[in-house]
Structures are given as structure tokens and as C-alpha cells.
Chains A and B, each alone.
Chain A
Amino acid sequence: MSSKPRLLLLAAGLAFACGAAAQDIKIGLVAALTGASAQSGEAITRGLAIAIDELNAKGGIMGRKVTLVRRDDESSPPKGLAAARELISNEKVAALFGGIDSPVSLAIIPVVNKEKMPFIGVWAAATNITKNGANPNYVFRVSAQDDLVDIKLVRYAMQTYGVKKPGLVLINNPWGESNEKGLKVAAEAAKIAIAGIEKIEPNDVDMTAQLTRLRNAGADALILVANAAPGAQMMKARERMGWKVPVVSHWGISGGRFDELVGPTAGDAHFVQTYSFFGNLNDAGKRVFTAMQTKYGIKTPADVLAPVGTANAYDAMHLVARAIEKARSTDGEAIRKAMYEIDDYAGLIKTYRKPFAPNDHEGLGPDDYIMVKFEGGKIVPVGK
């Protein structure tokens, strides 16, 4: 009963897969398209889409049209893993982009290395995503790196608020753990003590207990590493407690509707970004912003949601396109080698000069980080 339909199905699937896309170059994205961080997935999509539009307007890559294929990981590593496998084996994408969740990216790493699929992270910042010990390593990143972000956060807290004893509030997952290491190192280097380290779960709703312990330990600032939903709940607990301590945060909170979820005290959290659409934009910036206005109805820089995802993804897409052109092929190994050969690229965030090398798969560095906060529903820069 089952043999005939099964074979027919396989045949049909193969035909469909082969027939339609013989010419197109497919670019894959596995990101959070639903759930608490859905905004991040949308932002990344926009960055990739705008870059792809520009490429196609100039005839595509190697004269072939570029298309984007997306899959939702629902912020869940098993789902992300299944989606990545599908894109690699079924859709046969030339390159795979990742989303905001470090745990998801970490789960995908072994598969992309095994399948020789170039993987470019455009948000998830865990240090061991790129430093994963594989050789050859197919994982690249145009985004922040936790070790370096942690140094920035500690320095900012000390310089802006004179902090001497921060308390850490970290999400209980590999990303949180990555930053725990990084913050400890950064604090030691800056010769300050850590008041305490508290863990929070993604679905927690009340962090009063954790904050109370930190307050009792004498914390004079909170360093927050979490995504929008749990981060928001922590801010609400802080407000309920009436504890007006400064909050310096990693960028996870910008992946969702942080300000809407927190309410009036959202602006108390200062967080890190790699890009802002405010101020003077370079050529690429003006181009991208115009495209956002036409394509997505954006009116002012304040309307851009989760700008980091868009900016990182846009630059990353162009870098990968250049690598494919250089390699004259969509073969994974060829692309990987070509990534090290990229010439200058005047990008959105900065101008890239030979951004990648065999022992350095990070496209951005600490000089590219800026600090911002939420104000009136918009992300605005704070002073350096």
C-alpha cells in the first residue's frame, strides 16, 4: 500500500526541486520568524532582501538571479537544525544565514561544517559560534562577538555611571553562558568585582527574587544579557521594586518589542548595537534607507525596527556575493576560500578590507559598536 505513493512522491519532489530553480542561486535564512523575537527575523530578512534586490538589478551573481529562501526556527535549536538540513539538502542553498538565537546557531554549526555549507551569522553573538574548533571552518560572522561586547559593556558602565560592582542578569542558555565567561574576564581586566550572577529563563515572568538578591549584594548597576521578552520582565520587576539602578544591556532586547513590553522604564536600559540609521549616513546607508522607504513604508529612522539585523545582513549578503563571484562557483569549499579573498567593499556599517582570514572569521570589531536606548518607541543613540 505504501510503496507506490512513496516513490511517486519522491520523484515529484525531485522534479519540482530540480526543474524550477535550475538557474537561480538560492540563499537560505534560518531565523526566528515567529515568537518573541520575530522582529529580529523580519529585520534580517529585510537586510538580505534589499541587498539581493540590488544584486539582481545588476544582473545577479555570475549572471544568475538570486532568491531568498526562509525557514522559521521558532527560537528552538531542534527546529533550527531541522530547517537548516532541509535548506542544505532539499533546497540546495549556496549559503546559509543565521538568526538571533545563539543556541540555534550553535546547534547548526556541526551540520554546516559536515556538509561544507558556508554559514554566515548576522546577529547571534556567542563567541564559540565562529570559534568552534572545526578545521576547515565554514562559519563566518558579520556581527558582534560576545567577548568584545562584554568588554564594551563593562567599560560603558564604568565610564557613564561610575559603576564599581555590577550585578549580572543572564539568560540561562549557551548565549548567556558565553557572556558569563566574557563578563567575568572583562570585569577582572577592569579590576572591578561582580556583585552576583543571576540566571533567568526565557519564559520567566517575575524576576523579583533574582533582583532582590543582587540588590542585597550591593549591585550598583545591572548588566543584562537576554532577549526581549525575559529582558522586559526583568525591567518590569525592577520597576515594581522601585530600584532605579542603571541597566547596561547586550543587544538581545532589540530583537522584539522591548519598549512596548516594558512600558515607561524601557529607556533606562542602554544597549549595544553595530549600527544606527540616525545621523549622517554614508552612500550605502542612504541607498538602503531609501530602499526601506519604498519597499517597507519606513518614514523616519525611528521607524526602523531592530536595525542591527538589517544592517549586518545587508553587508553580509554583499560580502558573500563577492565571494561567490570571486570563486566563480557555488561550491561550498570554493566559497569558503574565496571569503578570504574579498577585496574592498564600501559597505553600510563600514568599509571592509579583506574582512576574513583563516583565523579570523569575524567581519566586525569593537570599534564598530555603539550604545543606544529606547525613547518614545524609537531606538536612539546615547552619547559615546
Chain B
Amino acid sequence: MSGVSNRATLVLALAAVAAATAGAFYGNNYHLLIIGTIAISAIVATGLNVLFGLAGQISFGHAGFFAIGAYTASVLSARLEVPFVLAALAGAALAAIAGALLAVPALRVRGPYLAMVTIAFGFVIEQGAAEWKSVTGGWNGFMNIPRPGWIGGAMDDRVLAIACAAIAGLLLYGFARFASSRWGLAMRATRDAEIAAQSLGANLVAVRTLAFAISAAVTGFAGALFATLQGFISPESFPFFMSITFVLLVLVGGQGSASGPLLGALVVVLLPEMLSALAEYRLMFFGGLLLLVLWLAPSGIAGAAASLWSRVSRRTHRALPVTGDERRVSRFLSREHGAPLRVDRLSVRFGGNLAVDQASLTAEPGRITSLIGPNGAGKTTLLNLVSGFYKPEAGTVRVGSAEITGAPSFAAARAGVARTFQTSQLFGGMTVQENLLVALNRGRLAGAAAVPAAEGAALADALLAWVGYTGSSQRAASELPHVDRRLVEIARALATRPEVLLLDEPAAGLSTEDTERLGEVLRRIAGLGLAVLIIEHDMPLVMGISDRIYVIDAGRMIAEGSPAEVRQDPAVRRAYLGDDEAVSGEGARPPARAAGATRAPEALLVHQLTAGYGAAPVLESVSLAVREGELVALLGANGAGKSTLMRAIVGLHRPIEGSVKFAGSEITHAQAHAIARSGLTLVPEGRQVFPELSVEDNLRLGAYAKQPLTDARVDELFGLFPRLAGLRTRRAGLLSGGEQQMLALARGLAANPRVLLLDEPSLGLAPAIVKELFGALAQLRAEGRTIVLVDQMARLALSLADRAYVLSSGKIVFAGTAEELKNNPVLEKAYLGGA
């Protein structure tokens, strides 16, 4: 957590120790106890801060480590007459071992399950101490714990209090240094974006185990201090409530911040003392404080202070932008003989579905290779297979001569494969520069010497400038605008000095200018000798910069070649635009309505709808109208915003600007369930059936908002989709893709909606099923239903539609009749890029 620099923490630590020393000389014996308690609390909180604040793992069992340290030190020093300092260190060591062991189950679980593991641990230790009477004295407790040795005998109360304060100050400063060290950076990276951290080479198991061990050791040491301060410990000294208090210490102060533990200790220990008359209300006070912090100041006192400070300091002076250094970058990145990426007949299956089927491709160094294909074709899956996030069932992946098939992601990263993600996975809690520093170290904790700090910083800045980032490298990554996030992520991937760079939709959300600049950057990267493989939907970009293009559809490679070759390939056109054949049968479109004929009323009206995240709107001033009885097609390439538009209309995406009117009333701010009840139904992308409920239950739920369906109506719906009738009682999750889509459609019809929106109904379905589906749609159209159809199968959709809109990069680029659009080049341009 940036904010308080190391120097500031040093000053704070020294001030605290000075204050404690002064207090020790002024106060009475009880005050010495308080000072000691504050110091010990700060130490525990620092320990827990490593695990909770840096590594992001919750623990409700730290009283257990505290107890281990306390008992170990007590037994060794009192019974075996080991000098107390050694005994305390032994306690810390034993606690560290316990922490590393606890990490084993803890690593496999998260969230509430992790909480349970730590709670259980705390209880086992507490009860174990009670049961192991011969060593710990059982419930009677352990008395006469000796003091550490000092000049002229054992430490008295005052010296001990000051010693505790000094140790606390030391550890506070140590934490600050640790947080910015290679280890601390690795931990923070795994906390912020676990997947991205692994993709840079961080070994999650090693990092988290280390965090547990260090956290336990520090807490155990504090436990030893506690034992000697109190002089008496018993299992009742380490109740479950103490673990909660420890978490409170970290939260109140500010998790992840170096000064947080001190602030937390001051508040949590002093406040009840000052209100000792209200000591009975202690529980309530802690509970209330915890709630307040969670509601109002989730980053604690230190966090609130830091954000206040940064707001002030930003006003007084602007942070400096990064300075470029071409030579340094090319010295760092360029390769004489790059290594190609060779993927050979890779396959993987999810459930019963063959997501990637015998895919092969080669990305040559020094060249840009692109992978394109319709939505759901398996592009990202292939990327994940190559970068080690999924394990393939068959096939091989090679980088140069090294085989990395099936290696976990961090191993793939260390073998030279770097990647970016569809949605940028930056480490939000760290600065831009720190993001790159993690990558520079390749997430390693040990082994190859870390890049020295100064050089690392300079290199990071140089890389950032090189990709076109113009902001400050000290900026918190969470505050970056969209385009900068993309650039920083690319720079970060480059910082691992990869052989192969994989980019997943790098141009998503970028303006045309930014996309052009991105293309230049990618060319330069390839120019340095890396193999660049990108997945993209932005056709101008792909066609403009690729040396070679691979086309994938339904998990199989269907084409490869130069951009010009691919654009002409009929298989490619079919995959993207659908068959040229028109739908036959009853679905044959009735003649176009004569101009001037009575126009049906508007059922759905969207006006200047804008939706999106921050500076880059996903939808910009979109307007469309749907009249009763019409079938309107909404077409466009992936990433154009079609699904977002559908979700925005029915209330699943909020907030939005502009207006949406349904049947005359304004639904712009209405909630999704209310909109559904009013008769505007969306059959969402990806079917979204209720997997554990039966087919019939799914169907009936469609009419939840209205009256329950009569059996007759149910039969009617099954009549529309005879295939479903025999699957009435089957759990919907077991149906095939096509059957699920029919179910979703039937479910959408169940409520007899006024307007039906369909989002990509043909996605991932076999051609025969698609034909059946569109046959059903034609029937619905003939019945006079109002339908908005979003589909990739552009030609098929157009064959049914009265009117059509084309969406490109969030804007409407065509609005007119289906006939007009059929042969209009704007369609091809939107899907396949310009000539």
C-alpha cells in the first residue's frame, strides 16, 4: 500500500518508541503494563498484517500462534532455564513451522472455508494447551515465567516495557521495508490479482506458505513477550475472541499499511482503558468499532489518512511522467534468435464439450501472429492452454526447443511465455512501477539475484515510456484510465523478458487512435525479436498489423494465411457471417410492408443510450426503435456492444444515460425484475437455464411474474419445441447446448411477452440445430410477435428480419431495412475489416 514512505514509517516508529520510553518513566506499574500491551499488540498486528494485509489471507486463528510462542518460551525458560531471548526465538520458530503446516490446507481453500480452517486451528491450540497438562500446566496455567536477562539481573517492569516498545518500533519499520521488497511485492501481487501474479511467474504456493510462516513467527514472538510481561498464562489467555481482536487491530489501523498496526493497537488498547467505567461494554464497543471501520473506512485509519494526504499533495505538485530510454529497453528485450511458439494438435474437453480440437499454430519470432474467430470459438481457451492456466488433454506446446505442455502458469511464465488478459488484471493496490517490479523479478522469491532496486525502477520507467504510457509511475494502478491499464499491462508482461508475448483482445475498449498506436507498439515489440500472438476482434487492427492469421471456429482451426488470403476465404466468411442460404419453409418472409401503410405503434424505443465504464463508453448514443410485430436484427462484430445493449435495455446493466421506453413508459431506471414483469423479456446470451431444475420447472419459472402456467399452455410451448417434450423432467444442466437454447427460448415465451429480445441464440450450436431454431423463430414471427434478434449469423438473421441495425465499437453505423443491409458493404466491414 503506497502512501507512507519508508522514511516516514521510520520517523513514526522512532517517535512511538520515544513516547513509550517517556511514558515508562512517568507512569505507574499499571501504565507499564499498558505500554507493554500496546507494543505487543502492535507486533501481533504487524505479523497478521503480513498475512492479511500483504498476502490477502484472512485468519481467525492467530491466537493459536500467539499461544504457541507464549507456551514455548515459557516452558523453555522456566523449566529448562534457556535464556529468555533464545526461548522467545524458539517460540517464534515453532510458530513459523505451525504456520507453514497450516498453509497446506489453507492454500486449498478461500473465503469462508479459509476462515473455518483458521478458527479450527485456534481452538485446537487452545484446547491442546489445556489437555497437555504435563507440559503446559493445563487449565491451571503456567506461573512464574521468568524475565529476560539484562544488566544486573532480570529486566524489571520498566525496562521490559521499553524493550517491547523498541522491538515493536523495529518491526514496524521492518514491515515497511518488507512490503516493498521482492517478497512483499510478490505477496501483494498474489493478493490483488492471483491469476496475473501467476502469469508473471509467482508461485502461489510458495508465496502464501511464506506469508503464513512469517506471520506466525512474528505473532509467536509477540506471544513470548506477552508471557513474560504477564508472568502467568493459561489456555484462557488465548480465547477465540482474541483472534477477532487481532483482526480488529489490523483493520482499524489499516491493513497493508506499515503504521496501521501501531494505530490499531493504540485505539484498541487505549480506548477501553480510558473508558474503564464502561469496561463491561467492551464487546459491544469492539463490535461497533469493527462495523464502523468496515462501513466507512475499509482501509483503516492509515488508509483514510493516506488518501487524504494524497488528495492534498496532488493539488500541490503534479507527479512527474516517466522518461523514456529506448536503448535500455532494446538492450533488455531484444533477442538475436528468438524462439518460436509451436502449438501442435492441442485439445481439451470441458464437461462433454470439446472446447479445443486438435488446434495447431506457429507464432514466429519477429512476427505478429493473430488468432481470430467468432464468439465462443475457443480463442481464449487456446491462450489459456498455452500459458498454463488449463491443462490440455492432448497435443504439445513448445517455446523454441523447450516443451511446456501442461506446465502450470508460473512455470510457463518462467519459460518465457508472457500474456495479457481480456480485462486488465493490474495489481490495483500497488503503483504502476511496482506492478512492473513484480514482473522484473518474475515473481521469484529466491534464486536468481533480484534486479537491484535503482536499476529496476529505471528499467520499469523506460518500459512504460516505450509502450506509450505518459503518466507517472508512482500512480496507484487502480486509478488508471482504461487505455493506460492496457498499456501498463503490456509493459508489465514485457518486464518478464519473454520470448513469446500473448495478448488477449488488447484493443478492447480503445479508441481508433489508441488502437493505431497500439498497433505500432506491437510492431515494435515484434521488431525486437519476440514472437507476438494476439487474439482480437478489431478487424482493421488485425488486418493491418498481422503477418499471419489463424482462424478458429468451434474449437477447430479452419483457415490460416496472410490477411488478404484469410479475408477471401469462404470458410471464414461462413463462420462469421453465416450461410448465404435463406431460411426456407413457413418462415418465408411476407412481402415488405408498403411504404405509407399504417405504421404499428412503437413497442420499444431506445434513445441516445450511453453506457460504459469511465472514459471509454461501451455504448455511445445508441438509438433504435422496434415497432409491434416487427423482427429487428441487431448485428455487429464481437466487442461491438450488442450484449451490453441488450442487458442495458432490460435493466441488468445500470446505470445508463439516455432513455429507454417500453410500451410508452420510461424504464431507464427500472429494475430488471420489474421490467421483466412488464412484458419485456430477454433470452440472454449463453442460455442461462437453471441447471439443477427440471426442464418443466425452468419453463414454468418463465411465467413467474404472471399467473402460473396452465398445463395447456405448457403443452403449447412444448409443441413449439417437440424435442423438449420428451425431456420434461430432465435437469436442465444435462441438456445439450441446442436443447438448452430451445428451453431458454420457450422459457422466454412462457410469460407471453410483448417484446422478446434474443441474444446470440445460435452461439455454439450445430448447423442442424441452428436451422431448427431459426425455423421456430420464423414461426414466431409469422404469429406476429415483436422480436429483437442479436446474432452472429448475420445472413440468417437478416433473412428473417424486417429491419436491421449494425453496431460497431458501441455506435450504430447502420439503420435501415434488412433488404438494404443485405448487400451493403458496411456489414462486411463491421465484421471483417475494411478492404
Contacts and interface: CB of A to CB of B under 8 A. Distances in A.
B236 A76 contact: yes
Given A10-B31, A90-B30, A103 B140 contact: yes
B124 interface: no
B266 A177 contact: no
Contacts of A110: 143-144, 231-232
B285 interface: no
B23 A10 contact: yes
A13 B262 CA distance: 21
Contact of B232 (A34, A71, A78, A174): A78
Contact of B15 (A3, A71, A77): A3
A175 to B, nearest CB: 10
A9 B234 contact: no
8 contacts: A3-B16, A7-B26, A72-B279, A89-B33, A110-B231, A172-B138, A172-B139, A177-B140
A2 B15 contact: yes
B303 to A, nearest CB: 15
B140 A174 contact: yes
Contacts of B237: 78
A36 interface: no
A382 B266 CA distance: 56
Interface stretch (A51-59, A80-88, A221-229, A308-316): A80-88
A107 B235 CA distance: 13
Interface in B227-283: 230-234, 236-237, 259, 262, 266, 270, 274, 276, 279-280
B27 interface: yes
Given A2-B19, A3-B18, A177-B140, 6 more contacts: A1-B259, A77-B232, A78-B236, A90-B31, A107-B143, A173-B139
Contacts of B578: none
Interface of A: 1-3, 6-7, 9-10, 13-14, 34, 71-72, 76-79, 81-82, 85-86, 88-90, 103, 106-107, 110-111, 115, 172-174, 177
Contacts of A86: 30, 276
B400 interface: no
B319 interface: no
Given A9-B270, A110-B232, A89 B30 contact: yes
B82 interface: no
Contacts of B230: 78, 81-82
A2 B262 contact: yes
Contacts of A111: 231
Q: Say whether chain A's binding surface is mostly helix, strand, loop, or mixed.
A: helix
A6 B34 CA distance: 12
B235 to A, nearest CB: 10
B422 interface: no
A9 B274 contact: yes
Contacts of B231: 81, 110-111
B19 A3 contact: yes
Interface residues of B, number: 36
B236 A90 contact: no
A269 to B, nearest CB: 24
Given A1-B15, A10-B23, A90 B279 contact: no
B22 interface: yes
A71 B262 CA distance: 28
Given A76-B236, A78-B234, A107 B141 contact: yes
Nearest to A2: B16
A7 B24 CA distance: 11
A2 B274 CA distance: 16
B562 interface: no
Most buried by B among A2, A6, A77, A90: A2
A10 B266 CA distance: 13
Contacts of A76: 236
B29 interface: yes
B624 interface: no
B26 A85 contact: no
Nearest to B133: A172
Nearest to A79: B236
B139 A88 contact: no
Contacts of B279: 71-72
A259 to B, nearest CB: 27
Nearest to B233: A78
B606 interface: no
A81 B29 CA distance: 13
A194 to B, nearest CB: 21
Contacts of A6: 19-20, 22-23
A68 to B, nearest CB: 14
A7 B23 contact: yes
Contacts of A107: 141, 143, 232, 234
Contacts of A3: 15-16, 18-19, 22
A10 B274 CA distance: 10
A106 B144 CA distance: 12
Given A10-B26, A172-B139, A2 B266 contact: yes
A71 to B, nearest CB: 8
Contact of B280 (A72, A79, A88): A72
Most buried by A among B15, B20, B236, B280: B236
Interface in B190-224: none
Contacts of B234: 77-78, 103, 107
Most buried by A among B20, B28, B280: B28
A173 B140 contact: yes
A85 B231 CA distance: 12
A174 B137 CA distance: 10
Interface in B25-62: 26-31, 33
Contacts of B12: 1-2
A110 to B, nearest CB: 7
A155 B167 CA distance: 58
Contacts of A90: 28, 30-31
B19 A77 contact: no
Nearest to A87: B30
Contacts of B16: 2-3
Contacts of B30: 85-86, 88-90
Contact of B19 (A7, A103, A115, A173): A7
Contacts of A177: 140
Contact of B22 (A7, A13, A81): A7
B27 A10 contact: yes
Interface string B657-679: 00000000000000000000000
Interface string B784-822: 000000000000000000000000000000000000000
B61 to A, nearest CB: 19
